[in-house]
Structure 1
Amino acid sequence: METNHYDVLIVGAGVAGSALAHALPTITSKSRASPIRVALLERSLSEPDRIVGELLQPAGVAALQKLDMEGALEEIDAIPEDGYCVVHSGRLVHIPYPDGRQGRSFHHGRFIMRLREYAKRAQGVDVIEATVNELIECEHTKRVLGVRATRSSPRGDGSREEKEPFFADLVIIADGCFSNFRNAVMGKSARQSSTRSYFVGAILKNVQLPMPQHGTVALIKGHGPVLLYQISEHDTRMLVDVKHPLPSDLKARNVVPQLPTSLHVAAHEALDRDRLRRMPSSFLPAVEQGGKYTKEGVFLLGDSWNMRHPLTGGGMTVALNDVVLLAQMLGEVGNYGNWDQVSDTLARWHWARKPMASTINILSVALYDLFGADDEYLSVLQNGCFKYFECGGDCIRGPVSLLSGIAPSPALLFYHFYKVAFYSIWIMFTHPRPVNNSNGEVKSTLAVPPVWEYPFLLIKSVKVFWTACVVFGPLLWSEIRWW
């Protein structure tokens, strides 16, 4: 039984769990005479197969370097990413990462396996393949003392192992977006994730994107955005946004004609060939942990606690930066059994992570609302956003610095978001637009709105601005509040 007692027990060997298992012994070794013992429990240590978590922003690459884990991007056929290309009505706009920074795209499973290799090599870390069934709580204080888990390997007679207890001074739950323990840990403080759409994934074979080594975002009329990025030498991931509720046919062939023509054949082949899978695009704001907000002895990490829309590919970047901060702060804790000390650390960590996490969380949903515009006023904002990018200069550098995590600043995000809103309104009054003939049919000619339409446009401007507030305001509030 004594061999099953650890200083820290981590449930879930995904991005956050594996990175923290590697980082904690390294950091704490500087302040302790002997390394801490860490158990990393994962239901299956085979290579996972997912359609998201395949793009790491430049700030995520930098976080890996801080954790001395940048080698996890090697030997997995990862592709350097230099920025984005946004496609709208046949027009392209180039959005490069600033200062030559690069991200990486890859097969998710290969990256996870490399992270787990780092965890296995860390001193004092046991990586155990076992399904965690329940938390072990003290009968009187309700403090979490560990978990019960069933090892994956069957007995020699073919029967499964019985539930085995694993004890630790501190339990960290990092079991992903479909967490089995979120409500058990947070209790009444737990928020429920919201899902408005799904990403349906397929693999395009041997294609060249409009801008190589750039993620491509195609804005599709009457449909959600389509995201494409190369994840290996021969494979390009295509993610099609499908709004909730899901249709009976997930093939989504109506989006293909609006993609760049060079992708049409490969897209149809992929839709015919692949078993299309879907992942919910969930949003779950973070709630402060520790003290009265969670059970003693346990807290949540990663997607089990905080999720954002996957459109901007910021999830792994947030998770790795969370680990960088958390490992440093936990390295200063002398006794993980002292919940008051751990709670103070969790409170400091919660607010230290806010600039990065809040910026990426808010931007992911706000940008999705604009890119997936499904009403008249959001369409105005979508058009204004695209034209804002076409202005170049700081109109590109600022937003992509926010998206990539290079400039984590909610204030800067507020500035650019409302600058886009006012620019969208300005465009309605000043930019040429298609005009209708006497029969109401759209003509090919463009014309600036005449002066007598200004009263109508003024009313529409108020509605556009209000729509911008409705999009941004609740997202900002969800990050500011903490109960």
Structure 2
Amino acid sequence: MTTTPIEEFELIIVGAGIVGCAAAKAFGTDGRRVLLLERDLTEPDRIVGELLQPGGINSLKSLGLEDCVEGIDGIPCYGYGVIHKGQTVEIPYPVNYETEKQASGKSFHHGRFIQNLRKAATCTENVTVRELTVNTLIREDDGDKVIGVSAQSKTNEYFKFYAPLTIVCDGLFSKFRKEFTTKTPDVRSNFVGFVLKDLELPLPNHGHVILANPSPVLMYQISTHDTRVLVDVPGKLPSVSTGELRAYMENIVAPELPESIRPKFMEALETEKLRSMPNGFLPPSANQSTGMIVVGDAMNMRHPLTGGGMTVAFNDVVLLREFLSPQNVPSFTDSELVIKQMNSFHWKRKNYCTAINVLAMALYRLFAANHDADLEVLQRGCFSYFQLGGDCVDGPVGLLSGLIQRPIVLVYHFFAVAFHAIYIEAKSNGWSGAHHSFIMLFTVLYTACVTILPYLWTETKY
């Protein structure tokens, strides 16, 4: 075993993904001496993290990282198309009435975007990037305070690095989450992803949500020739090795797709590897750890149905840079001040993360009705509500895109959907009896409450 000399920094960041790279750039630019550690700096190949909402684009610009979405064959995104039983409704991103320009996002291959972020971090003054696996957090002998990390190279060299503050952002499968919180991700389903070649989607430059049974299918173009498909599979994932998963795609999913998409879908099943990622919900935790901060998916997750993860991540870095700026925290050695600022950070971030988190989970429950009669009533009502256009789409897509940061707007629209669902169901049934209408009113409202309120409570009580 070879051990190298001890090195000291002002800030250590564990994980050079979305959050880690952006944080390294932000704090390095602020003059902090930053060490960014990543176990593998080769281009990652993932099936999620491929659509950045307009709110995320805005945060990227404020961090000076807007060039990272360029030169990677990315595709501009101007909104969503929701497909239900052969009908398509367009949900465009809102227009900025000051500039008269429509908001836009960007979709791309995740790995290409990450490599651009890593280049930006590497080129930032005061930032050192190293390819090392962090094994443990180093704590003071007489307490729980984190004072550094121990790491290992691929050639089994061992390193110790010290800093008054360590930011852990090691993602969905975080190694260090358990040292920060007792909460664990609540996994309800898995995304199965692969690429369709040269597919013409019904609405070009839009993300697509297909309201299939038993749960939704997402599609969006990520490069000139590649379209990502993500199939949500609720419950236990069928086996890949026995062919059960492929059979599920052919027999359960394919018949639910529009006829214009089905041939390419079936073709891809013959040539593409099916890969999966768990979809979980992890409510945020306030940072109470001395010398350590946990951010990103290691701290807070939501279902990726609405593509809000990266938007929350970049917003977090913007806010983190503000609360931990040299003006607000002259030295990270002042642990009490850091914890105080992180408590303020925890509550301030709820302005944007609550709406995105709750919307993702509530919409997933709605769109994955899985033959639940009451949820199907809400699902039909939601689709019909979108068809009304105007504020009925501007509000929801403003929340989804990260452009509207007011959770109360989410509550308003969700219950507006519930009342609209009651109206269209009663109308289609010929308004058959006051007693029946009252029962339906109670049932649908109860279903709406149990769909959204538990997530609102979980998000706001901590």
Task: Report TM bin, short chain.
Answer: over 0.9
**Contact 2:171/2:297 (CA < 8 Å) preserved in 1?**
yes
1:396 aligns with 2:393: yes
Amino acid at match of 2:435: P
The aligned length equals 443
State the distance in 1 between where 2:5 and 2:337 align.
Answer: 25
1:171 aligns with 2:169: no
Match of 1:362, SS? helix
Higher-Rg structure is 1
Deviation at 1:149, TM superposition (A): 0.4
State the distance in 2 between where 1:168 and 1:229 align.
Answer: 42
Partner of residue 98, structure 2: none
Superposition pairs of residues 233-382 of structure 1, within 5 angstroms = 233-248=224-239, 249-251=244-246, 252-253=249-250, 254-290=252-288, 294=289, 296-331=290-325, 332-374=328-370, 375-382=372-379
Deviation at 1:24, TM superposition (A): 0.8
1:143-178 deviation digits (Å, cap 9, x = unpaired):
1110110022x2xxxxx22x3111111011000010
Partner of residue 444, structure 2: 464
Match of 1:237, SS? strand
Partner of residue 136, structure 1: 138
Counterparts in 2 of 1:384 and 1:203: CA distance versus 1, 3 Å: same
State the distance in 1 between where 2:6 and 2:192 align.
Answer: 44
State the distance in 2 between where 1:11 and 1:58 align.
Answer: 27
Which of the residues 432, 444, 449 maps onto 1:451?
432
State the distance in 1 between where 2:201 and 2:28 align.
Answer: 42
Partner of residue 479, structure 1: 459
**Contact 2:6/2:162 (CA < 8 Å) preserved in 1?**
no
Unaligned ranges ≥5, structure 2: 96-101
Match of 1:303, SS? helix
TM-score by length of 2: 0.94
Deviation at 1:185, TM superposition (A): 2.6
- What root-mean-square deviation, in Å, do the aligned CA atoms of Structure 1 and Structure 2 show? 1.2
Deviation at 1:3, TM superposition (A): 6.0
Partner of residue 436, structure 1: none
Match of 1:451, SS? coil
Deviation at 1:464, TM superposition (A): 1.4
Partner of residue 46, structure 2: 50
Q: Percent of pairs identical after alignment? A: 48
More divergent stretch after superposition (381-390 vs 460-469)? 460-469
Superposition pairs of residues 57-68 of structure 1, within 5 angstroms = 57-68=53-64
Amino acid at match of 1:200: V
**Contact 2:6/2:160 (CA < 8 Å) preserved in 1?**
no
Deviation at 1:450, TM superposition (A): 5.2
More divergent stretch after superposition (382-391 vs 466-475)? 466-475
Deviation at 1:306, TM superposition (A): 0.3
State the distance in 1 between where 2:260 and 2:21 align.
Answer: 39
Dislocated runs of 4+, deviation >3 Å = none
1:272-327 deviation digits (Å, cap 9, x = unpaired):
1111011111100001113xxx3x10010100000010000000000000001101
State the distance in 1 between where 2:315 and 2:214 align.
Answer: 33
Partner of residue 181, structure 1: 176
State the distance in 1 between where 2:344 and 2:388 align.
Answer: 40
1:363-395 deviation digits (Å, cap 9, x = unpaired):
000011111112110000000000000011100
Which of the residues 77, 94, 109 maps onto 1:107?
109
Partner of residue 427, structure 1: 424
Unaligned ranges ≥5, structure 1: 29-34, 155-159, 433-447
Match of 1:250, SS? helix
Deviation at 1:424, TM superposition (A): 0.7
